[in-house]
Every structure is written in structure tokens, then in C-alpha cells.
Structure 1
Amino acid sequence: MESTTSAAVALTTATAADVDVDLIFVPLFEDEMPGAALPGLDEGTGGMLGRAVESGEFRGRPYQLYLTPLNDQWRAGRVGVIGAGKAREFDTDRLRKLASAAALAARERRVPRIAFLNRHSGAPGKGVQAITEGLVLARFSGDTYKSGERSAPPVEEALVISAHGGAALEGALERGRVLGESCNLARELCNEPSNVLTPSIFAGRGEAIAREGGLQVEVLDEEAITSLGMGLLLGVSRGSSEPPRVLVMRHAPAGAPARPVLGLVGKGVTFDTGGISIKPADGMDRMKDDMSGGAAVIGAMRAISLLKAPINVVGVVPMSENMPGGRAIKPGDVLTGAGGKTVEVLNTDAEGRLLLGDGLWYARHLGATHLVDAATLTGAIVVALGKAASGLFGQPDGWVEAVRRTALRAGDRCWPMPLYEDYREQIKSEIADMVNTGGRPAGACTAAMFIREFVDDLPWVHFDIAGTAWAEEARAWQGKGPTGVAVRTLAELAFTSAEW
């Protein structure tokens, strides 16, 4: 499998003309002349770049790319100006995507050595981190199982050109590297076929990633899960010949305060047929990525450890298949969770919330004071928000807002959704504490209301990433396939406890 590491990403304070690479990328805004971005750039192209701007051939629209040779006063052979859009709309998310788009364009052209100019006008470290994240994200390869021609390899060397240097900026680059790598590790897991990534293998690979990152790790097998009374997880797994697992990761830095303890819980369904309430065949192959929330938690916990977050964090990933075997749960069955709550199963395809119920209970059991879960949970959130944003639910408003701000800084677009008490009426059961689905109306909201029953009054946020975990189409900054959504948000959250 392709390495997700990026040992060759480095910072340079050399002038752009003195950077020895094959191709330099320079972001250029709409209606901006090359000299405003980098003095001497147009002269270095013999006026070609200025003429392209004046004629309208290059307009600076987002991700538009224009390549042209440089003269012998420059050590680089070519420059690529990449459209940055309107200057007033420029932020670190745009910068991250521009860097990724640049590295992907270089990769497509099999250019081995590139440099990217930091044009972020705010704190230099934020720009360096965003650029590094983008450069590393471009290293992901989704075609690892091809035996014939594959996509071009990642660039061999990538430099971030900065007007400033020093330990703080080197730290920002390292932070970007770790977050980008952790996203790519999550993407690799999401891209695996389910015959390769069974719950047991998922737990083993997650354990290896966590241990290499310096985390304390425990894998709960079927016996341990049974002894804890995790009847919701056990119920979902009954139809499969593959036994369930729970991956437990702990980050416990020396000197960390007793509170807060951040608890991260990710849905880890390695393949979802829907069970007895079986899904349509069309598109079912995509259900290999129904463990994206769990992969995000694994990637985030790795980053949290490597970046030395100052607080205690626990990560819990319940893992299972959802299959229609002879022992599978059936509509009308009643399951009992580890916390004692009973659930009448109306639809076996609403299984992710059952795993999260036991997973959140266990995170609380381990001492979590603030909870976040991530799951590809409902098709309803895709109907509501499309694939442009994840759904954000939770309590209280202050905690939800803290997570939302972190997500926006991390480049994980999300939108707050309501949790009105009215939705509770839709999940009432006549024979148990609740049903596992409230029907089609407000389906994403009733699913979140179901999950809320397992967190009591603790601060809690639920990310429904069903629309954002997988890109159906390639974009300039991202290929088709797994996106690594929520990894950066969950990781960065562990550094924001002062805002809670």
C-alpha cells in the first residue's frame, strides 16, 4: 500500500527564485497581476504570465491552473499560478485545498519536486499548517488493488515557501504533516473492501496505528463485550459470521487535569447490507465505508497523541458487520444496551445508532465528561444538506458551538441541526424504552434524538457524516473516494479545552 507519510515536506525561507525545484506554485487572486503576488514573477516568465492575465486566459478563478517556463534567473524550471478566487473569500480552508490541488496537478504530470508559496495574510503558522495538510492529503492513493496501470506516484519533495522561519513555523509544518497523515490513514481504512477489513482486522489495524502513535490500546473481544452487557452491539453482529470488536484508545498525558476528559466515539460497521431490512443492490458496494466514523476516531486519536494534546482523551470504536444471516435480529426484536435501556428494533438498517448507544455508554464508563460521536448514520442528512456539509447535533448550545468553530477552522464544513423535544415522540415504543427509527420525517433528527438517550446531560455532539465521508466525483483538490472527514476536527478539539 502507498505510504501516507510525507518525509520530504519542508519549510524554506529562500526567495522563490532561489528555490531549487521543478515547479513552483503561486496562488493568484482574481483581478490580480503577477507582480502583486510575487515581485519579478512576470519578468521571470518573459511577460507570458502578465499577458495571460490581461487577455483573460487566466482569471484567477478558484483552482484554475496556468503553467509556464521560467528564465534562467530562477532555479525552478516552471511556475504554476493557481487561481485563489476573490481575495475577500480567501481563508485557510481555501489555502489547504489550493495546496492539495497543486500537489495533485504536479502528481498527474509526474513532477517530482514542487514548492508552494504561502500567501496567507494572517498568522504565518496557520498558513504553513494548512499548506502542509494540503500537500500531504494529495499523497493518498485509492487504486492500491490495481495490478495494471495505476495513478502517478506522489511528489517526492514538497517545499513551503515562507517569508518567516523559526521553531514556531517548523512546529506548524509538523502539525500539518501529522494531521494530513492521520487523515490519509483514515482514508486508507475507509477504502478497504469489506472482505479484507472485517471487524477483527479493523480492530487489529486500528490497534497498530494507535500503538505506533503512542496511545494505550485495548481490544474487547466478543467475550468481553458480552460481559459488559453491550446487547445493542451484539444484536447487530448476530447475523454475521464475523465477531464484533470494540477498539479502546486512551491518551493520558502526564500532568493532565482530571477534567475535562474528551470522549470520541466512531461507528465501525465494516459492511452494512441493512440486515433483514436489506438495502437495494444498487450502491450497496459503497457500504464498505460505513466505518468512516470509526476510522476518523482512530486517525484523530493518533494525531492527538503525536501532537501531545494537554488533556485526557478516550476513543471508542464499536465494530461489526450488519448481515442478514439466520441468527440476525429481526424487526420487532427487543435489545438491551449496556446501560440498561431497551430498544425495539423496527428496522435492522438503523443499526449504526445501536452501536453508538453502547459505544457512548462505554466512553462515559471510562470517565468521559465531553462526548463527540461521528457516524455515516442517515440518508436523511444527505437529503437535508447534500454532500456539502455534515450534520451537527448536540447539547448544550455552548458545546455545539465550540465544536462547530473547531470544525470550520479544520476545514470540515458542518451545519447545526435541531433536536426539538417533538422528535422524542417519534421514537417512543409501546413495549420498550424506544424504537430504533422514527420513520422518514426528520430522519436525521430522530436518529440524533435516539443517540441522545445514551448521553444523559453530558455535553455531547453528533456528527452525521453520511454525505461527506465519500466523494462521488473528483475535484481539483480531492480525488473520488474517501475524504477523511472529521479527523482534523476531532484532533484539533483536544487542544481547545480552554473554550469549553
Structure 2
Amino acid sequence: MIIRPSDTPLLEWAGDTLAIGLFEDAVELTGELATLDERLAGVLKELIAEEEFKGKANSSIFTRVAAGSLIKKVILVGLGKTEALKLDTLRRTAATVARVGKKLKSKTLGLSLPLGNHQADAAAQAIAEGIQLALYQDIRFKSEPEDKGTQLETVDLLGLSGQEAAITRADQVVSGVILARQLVAAPANEVTPITLAETAQAIANEHGLQLEILEREDCEKLGMGAFLGVAQASDLPPKFIHLTYKPNGTPTRKLAIIGKGLTFDSGGLNIKGAGSGIETMKIDMGGAAATLGAAKAIAQIKPDAEVHFISAATENMISGKAMHPGDILKASNGKTIEVNNTDAEGRLTLADALVFADKLGLDAIVDLATLTGACVVALGEDMAGLFTPDDAVASQLEKAAQSSGEKIWRMPMEEKYFEGLKSGLADMKNTGPRAGGSITAALFLKQFVKDTPWAHLDIAGPVWADKENGYNNSGATGFGVRTLVNWVLSPVE
């Protein structure tokens, strides 16, 4: 499929299907839309009346037009209220149009959307992202594709002439989101710690990034007892992935993105029981998937920041070598941890990854992880929790998320809650009381960052969608990639 900017006027565009966006408070046809309606023998006005179309966000209606017209079909899509038009409105609207256009078996589609106060380049990128993400289908594990119908081949973005660079940027970002979706969606017998390391190697080879893979022995030399404690039960070797993008010239800032990389989580000896969703625990590497997806996008965009992409990848399994509840592990910064729950393993792997990153002399670190069910209880399945003691980093991430359309909400770092993590035998336990579980998890991670501004994103909810939602299909969403890319690209303040 080709998405291209077009300077063809709305009234002159010719193709299978023309899609037009209308605001909720301006459904009346005026100007060139009134002229178009006249040319189509009043079919638009009639359609609006018959369907009682109000222009509500993401609503759509469509019809075939009379033979002899430049177009065969027309789609009207709602944008909601004029003052509420955001970039993500355009992204979601484009996704709606793409799905309807495909349903109508259109090969060529013209799309005309008002941009409001948004810059043309940002709007074009958002629209192109929405189209591509909505139409993406993961058919890798199908013996035959289920959808054998007509495919959308060309989309013309009317009124966005000259925005080729923005569409290229969308292609780059979407390639990272799709990589993350593929990694999360693939089963644990397809995506292993070895596979994640190979994926990092492929990105490094294709785009000229530096790659360091620390094997078990290397991690032992660095004293990564928390990470290795989790890894010791698996028959598969752990892989500590450190992928680095460096710009030409002096970087404006140095950043790290750390992703939790549990390719399968059985719970360990605190095994996940019936109804726990153990069969879905292939998604527990969603943080690592977003990290590698962001790496793929960043490597193509080539910003002026240096970025380190890190994941301590392993499985959390059960065997005679498994860590026991009650074991005490020592992380690479010397802090000791009493393991009172082997199913709280992600924070143990992140602990050593944070210590590693903290020594790199960075300006900021962001980790993201499918860390706690408690965060899903607090914020639902569409929103990630943001935890940080640093207001500047919080502000950067909130702005990055807003423009990406990914929802995050800043949560409190209530230091008093750390009392629940104190151990009589070690420096801390790996879990505290049930209440405030996502907060105590973040406070645990905070113990492993000494000098660097840091933030933690708990993405347990939005990493997976049970049903189609906006530009996300059901299944893996690739959540976090667009926010991370925007964060890296944000100007230095």
C-alpha cells in the first residue's frame, strides 16, 4: 500500500472511494462539499438525513454513487467537536476510514480531513500512522491468509501536498510499532531470550548500531545476582542486551530505554494458578518489545541524541534450579533482596538493568514493563502508569505520550509505602502489601538508580487489546514505541 500526499482538489479527485471528515457541530454541507453534493445528485445530503449522521468521533457512513462520477463510493466520517480535534483524532479517524475503505473493497482511496490548528507535517504523520496501524494484520502463523479480498493499494491525502517527509517519518515509526506487535504476539516457543538478542543483532546490522550481548558469565562478573536469580531455572540462556545508537557528531543528550524482557513468566515456584492468565504470559516481554521497536524507529530517523536500548532477557521457569521463596539475592549495586514471591520477577531483572544504565553517564533513563496487575486495577487496560520523582522527565514523557496518542497517567511515589518492602534479613523484599502494589514496585526499582533522572512506565494494561480499538487491532498493540520515539526526539529544554 502506498500513502501519498496529493495536491489534487477534492472536486477533481478520481478513484474508487472518497472519504470526507465532518465535525459534530458542522455537519451541514457548504462550499466545495455542497458543490460535490450537487454533482452527486444530492446523495450526500440524503445519506446524512437517512442515517441521522451527527459527526460523532469515529462514526462513519458510506454509499455508492451514480455511474459516471469520478468516484464510485463515498465515506463520511465523524471528527467529533471542532475544539476537541487532536492529532490522535486524526490518527483514529484515518484508521476508521482505512477499515471502511477495505470493507468496501476499494483499491484507491482519497482522504480529506480538516487539520484544525495542527501543523500539516504532524497531521500527515498521524494520519499515515493511523492508516497503516489499522490495516496491519499478523498472519505469520496462519497456513493461509483468511482475508483474500481486494486490498487497499493507494491512499491519497488530499490537501497535504509536500508532506512526503512526514509520511516517511510515519513509515519509520510504524515499522517499530509493528516489530513490537510481532514480538509480543508471537508465542514463547518462537520468541525466546535468544530470539530477542537476534532481533537486536538484526537491527544493529541493518542500521549500523553498536551491540553488546552479555552472556551468563559476563553477568556473573558484573554481580547481576537479581537478574540471574530469575534466569537460573530456565534451560534457555539469559541474554543481557545493550544496543546503542550514536549520532554523527556530539550528542545533544544521552538517554537509555530499558524494557522488561521476560519471554515467558510461569510465576516460578509461586506458580500462576488457574485463572491467572498464565497462557498469556508470552506478553511479559512487552517492555523489551517496545524498546527494540523504538530502536528500529530511532535508527532510521537518526536524531541527534545518543540512545541506549537495554533489556535483561530471560524466562521465569520452574525446575530443580529455581530460586525459592525466601532466597536472598544480591543485585549488582550490592543491595540484597529477600524473594518473598518468585512471581514478582520482572523487577529483579530490571534492578540489574537499571544499575547497568546508571553507570553510563546518561541524562535520563526510562524503563517500561508489564510489571503489575495492580496498575491495571488502578488505571484500566488503556492507560500506562508513570512513576518518577523527576518532574522534568515526567513532563517530557507526558508531552510525548499526548502527541503519540498513547495514554499515560502520573502516579504517586509515596515514600512511606517503602516500609512495606523492608526485610528483617535483607535490605528489602521484592514485594510489599497488596494495597498500592504498583507504587511499591516503582519504589523497589528506585533503589537501583543512584544518580540519573529516571522514570518507570507500567504498561501491563495497554500492551494487549482484547478487541479492536482505534488504530489497534485485537492483540498486541506495540504500546510505548511512539511515546518513546517522541521522547527521544523532543527538544532539549
Aligned to 1:284: 278
Give structure 1 stretches of 5+ with no counterpart.
1-5
Counterpart pick for 2:203 among 209, 222, 226: 209
Counterpart pick for 1:29 among 23, 32, 39: 23
Aligned to 1:234: 228
Whether the aligned pair in 2 keeps the contact of 1:332 and 1:344 (CA below 8 Å) is yes
Aligned to 1:159: 155
User: Residue 394 of structure 2 aligns to which amino acid in structure 1?
Assistant: V
Report the Cα offset of residue 421 of structure 1: 1.1
Aligned to 1:317: 311
Matched, 1:60 2:51: no
Aligned to 2:268: 275
Q: Structure 1 CA distance, aligned partners of 2:326 and 2:149?
A: 51
Q: 1:349 to 1:45 in 2, by over 3 A?
A: farther
Matched, 1:266 2:259: yes
Matched, 1:106 2:71: no
User: Residue 461 of structure 1 aligns to which amino acid in structure 2?
Assistant: A
Aligned to 1:394: 388
Aligned to 1:302: 296
Aligned to 1:448: 442
Aligned to 1:88: 83
Q: How many pairs were matched up?
A: 490
- RMSD across aligned C-alpha pairs, in angstroms? 2.0
Counterpart pick for 1:493 among 484, 487, 492: 487
Aligned to 2:399: 405
Report the Cα offset of residue 487 of structure 1: 0.1
Q: Structure 1 CA distance, aligned partners of 2:14 and 2:407?
A: 36
Q: 1:119 to 1:438 in 2, by over 3 A?
A: same
Q: Structure 2 CA distance, aligned partners of 1:37 and 1:461?
A: 49
Q: 1:49 to 1:361 in 2, by over 3 A?
A: same
User: Residue 370 of structure 1 aligns to which amino acid in structure 2?
Assistant: A
Aligned to 2:176: 182
User: Residue 373 of structure 2 aligns to which amino acid in structure 1?
Assistant: G
User: Residue 260 of structure 1 aligns to which amino acid in structure 2?
Assistant: R
Q: Structure 2 CA distance, aligned partners of 1:154 and 1:206?
A: 35
Whether the aligned pair in 1 keeps the contact of 2:5 and 2:159 (CA below 8 Å) is no
Give structure 2 stretches of 5+ with no counterpart.
none
Report the Cα offset of residue 388 of structure 1: 2.6
Q: Identical aligned pairs, as a percentage?
A: 37
Whether the aligned pair in 2 keeps the contact of 1:17 and 1:74 (CA below 8 Å) is no
User: Residue 191 of structure 2 aligns to which amino acid in structure 1?
Assistant: L
Matched, 1:225 2:219: yes
Secondary structure at 1:374's aligned position in 2?
Answer: strand
Aligned to 2:135: 139
Whether the aligned pair in 2 keeps the contact of 1:44 and 1:73 (CA below 8 Å) is no
Matched, 1:118 2:110: no
Q: Structure 2 CA distance, aligned partners of 1:337 and 1:403?
A: 28
Aligned to 1:3: none
**The 10-residue stretch of structure 1 (229-238 or 462-471) with the greater mean CA deviation from structure 2:** 229-238
User: Residue 163 of structure 1 aligns to which amino acid in structure 2?
Assistant: G
1:451-470 Cα deviation digits (max 9, x unpaired): 11111242111110001000
User: Residue 438 of structure 1 aligns to which amino acid in structure 2?
Assistant: G
Report the Cα offset of residue 231 of structure 1: 1.4
Secondary structure at 2:479's aligned position in 1?
Answer: coil
Matched, 1:467 2:461: yes
User: Residue 102 of structure 1 aligns to which amino acid in structure 2?
Assistant: V
State the TM-score, normalized to the length of structure 2: 0.94
Report the Cα offset of residue 156 of structure 1: 4.2
Q: Structure 2 CA distance, aligned partners of 1:217 and 1:434?
A: 33
1:112-151 Cα deviation digits (max 9, x unpaired): 3323223212211111010011112123213431225524
Whether the aligned pair in 1 keeps the contact of 2:325 and 2:339 (CA below 8 Å) is yes
Matched, 1:79 2:74: yes
Report the Cα offset of residue 375 of structure 1: 0.5
State the TM-score, normalized to the length of structure 1: 0.93
Report the Cα offset of residue 36 of structure 1: 6.0
Q: Structure 1 CA distance, aligned partners of 2:32 and 2:227?
A: 55
Aligned to 1:372: 366
1:264-309 Cα deviation digits (max 9, x unpaired): 0000111111111111243211111111111101111121121111
Q: Structure 1 CA distance, aligned partners of 2:87 and 2:107?
A: 25
Whether the aligned pair in 2 keeps the contact of 1:143 and 1:151 (CA below 8 Å) is no
Report the Cα offset of residue 55 of structure 1: 4.2
Report the Cα offset of residue 368 of structure 1: 2.3
1:367-397 Cα deviation digits (max 9, x unpaired): 3220001111000001001113110111211
The aligned runs of 1:328-339 (5 Å cut-off) are 328-339=322-333
Matched, 1:150 2:146: yes
Q: Structure 2 CA distance, aligned partners of 1:30 and 1:152?
A: 36
Aligned to 1:130: 126
Whether the aligned pair in 2 keeps the contact of 1:26 and 1:37 (CA below 8 Å) is no
Aligned to 1:251: 245
Q: Structure 1 CA distance, aligned partners of 2:480 and 2:56?
A: 27
Q: 1:290 to 1:64 in 2, by over 3 A?
A: same
The aligned runs of 1:475-490 (5 Å cut-off) are 475-490=469-484
Secondary structure at 2:492's aligned position in 1?
Answer: helix
Whether the aligned pair in 2 keeps the contact of 1:215 and 1:302 (CA below 8 Å) is no
Q: Structure 1 CA distance, aligned partners of 2:223 and 2:230?
A: 14
Aligned to 1:354: 348
Q: 1:105 to 1:216 in 2, by over 3 A?
A: farther
Q: Structure 1 CA distance, aligned partners of 2:265 and 2:32?
A: 50
